[in-house]
Amino acid sequence: MRNKEDYHLEDPAWCRGCGLFGVFDALKRAAAAQDLDPEQTVVVTGIGCHGRLNNCFRAYGFHGLHGRVLPVATGVKLNNPGLLVVGVSGDGDAYSIGLGHFIHAVRRNVGIVYLVVDNRIYGLTQGQFSPTTEMGFVSISSPYGSKEFPIDGPRLALAAGGTFIARGFSGNVAHLAGLFEKAVKHRGFALIEALSPCVTHNKINTYEWFRKNIYLLEDDSGYHPGDKMEAWTRLQDSRRIPIGLIYQEQKPPFEELVLPDVHKPIAREGLGVDVPRLEKIMEKFR
Ligand SMILES: Cc1ncc(C[n+]2csc(CCOP(=O)(O)OP(=O)(O)O)c2C)c(N)n1
Ligand code: SF4
């Protein structure tokens, strides 16, 4: 049985007090609680402060291009569906440059866990506003205050047919770890958005701010994550941010639908792969 420290490769180089420490801790706790095998786990990260997780969390890792976590993670899962594939993005990585991939991975229900660390800012590039930044926020790229209405990842995921939609807070590590454990057990695409302060570039959405504005869905005994309309209503409430498992349903994962086709004959003529022609094309790139 592994313990939390077995997943600790090295100390991360984040700013002191960054919410990413809480995210890292939650990942280690959840991995230890489930005794995850690092050799059967792949963490795919994008470009951003969150991307440093590959350096410090023990598992196979792929630190890819900005915004391209989900195509890589999908490719890994389809090639080796037995692996636990965890994608990690920032709010810029996921909802700005990576937004198209996000919607399609959600609707396809690819069997991966997707952790979006939402600090409502571009951290690595020194504090430009992001798609989740609040209207009016003053930053180096919005000196007169942002004029854009922010988007909400869980709301987008629900509209796109998401099957596991959760939100945690890096200031509540035990709760975030619990969400990660549930996500690992889910069959299909599991989104966890982790609200996470960037203490260096976002002086508005601090630990105190999040604590004041979030509430735990688990505290509400009348809330059931299977009720889509109720999930939608909670996500629409702009005064309070729900934390917890927001919505879950069962649908077949993409890989279970796609992979059996590999062994089937192709029904219509002309749709098969012309291998000699393909090899000729590939030869040009060698
Ligand atoms: C194609 C491309 N466009 C832009 C960049 C510059 N860039 C690097 S990280 C980043 C945003 C980082 O913000 P986020 O994804 O929210 O991650 P954080 O640093 O906050 O964890 C940008 C715009 C890049 N590396 N590649
Ligand atoms: S810049 Fe912000 S997100 Fe990046 S390590 Fe520092 S506090 Fe964390």
Domains of the chain, residue spans? 4-259
* Beta-carbon count within 10 A of 136 CB: 12
Sign of CA dihedral 182, 184, 188, 190: positive
Closest atom, ligand 2, to C-alpha of 48: 4
Between CA 71 and CA 48 the distance in angstroms is: 17
Q: In terms of DSSP bridges, do strands 214-216 and 60-63 run parallel, antiparallel, or are they unpaired?
A: unpaired
Q: Is the CB of 193 under 6 A from ligand 1?
A: no
Query: Which of 67-71, 206-210, 269-273 has the lowest average pLDDT?
Result: 269-273
3-state secondary structure of 32: helix
pLDDT tens track for 33-86: 999 999 999 999 999 999 999 999 999 999 999 999 999 999 999 999 999 999
Residue 41 CA to its chain's centroid (Å): 15
Indicate the pLDDT class of residue 264, thresholds 50, 70 and 90: confident
Is 202 close to ligand 1, i.e. is its CB under 6 Å away? no
Beta carbon of 61 within 6 Å of any ligand 1 atom: no
Which ligand number lies closest to the CA of residue 14?
2
Strands (E), the chain: 41-45, 60-63, 84-90, 113-118, 164-169, 190-195, 214-216, 241-248
Q: Residues 6 or more apart from 106 whose CB is under 8 A from it?
A: 156, 157, 160, 161, 162, 189, 191
User: Ligand 2: distance of its center to the CA of 193 in Å?
Assistant: 17
The ligand 1 atom nearest the CA atom of 94:
15
**Which residues surround ligand 2 with Cβ inside 6 Å?**
14-15, 18, 20, 49, 119, 123, 198-201
- Cα of 64 vs centre of ligand 2, distance in Å, is 19
pLDDT digits 0-9 by tens, 152-189: 999 999 999 999 999 999 999 999 999 999 999 999 99
pLDDT at 267 over 80: no
Distance CA 268, CA 181 (A): 43
Point out the ligand nearest to the CA of residue 202. 2
Cα-Cα-Cα-Cα torsion 30, 32, 37, 38, nearest 10 degrees, comes to 80
Q: How many CB atoms sit inside 10 A of residue 60's CB?
A: 15
Residues in CB range of 107: below 8 A, 6 or more apart: 160, 161
Tokens of 217: 């869905």
- CB atoms under 10 Å from CB of 185, counted, come to 10
pLDDT surpassing 90 at residue 214: yes
CATH class (in words) of the domain with range 4-259: alpha beta
